[in-house]
Amino acid sequence: MGAGPAPSAVAGNPPASTFADAQRKVIIAAARPAPDIPHQTPGAGLPRTPSPGSVEEEVFGPRKYYSMILNTPNLTSVGGSWVVRFAALKQVSDQSDLTAPAVVHKVDPAYPLSLMQARVEGTVTLYAIIRADGTVDGVKVLRGVDDTLDENARLALLHWQFRPATRHGVAVDLEALIQIPFAAAKRSF
Dump pLDDT digits (tens) for 15-28: 333 333 322 222 22
Per-residue pLDDT tens digits for 132-149: 999 999 999 999 999 999
Percentage above 70 pLDDT, the chain: 64
The verdict on pTM exceeding 0.75 is no
- 76-87 pLDDT per residue, tens: 666 678 889 998
Strands (E), 3-71: 17-21, 24-29, 66-71
Q: Which CATH superfamily is domain 17-182 in?
A: TonB (3.30.2420.10)
Distance CA 99, CA 6 (A): 10
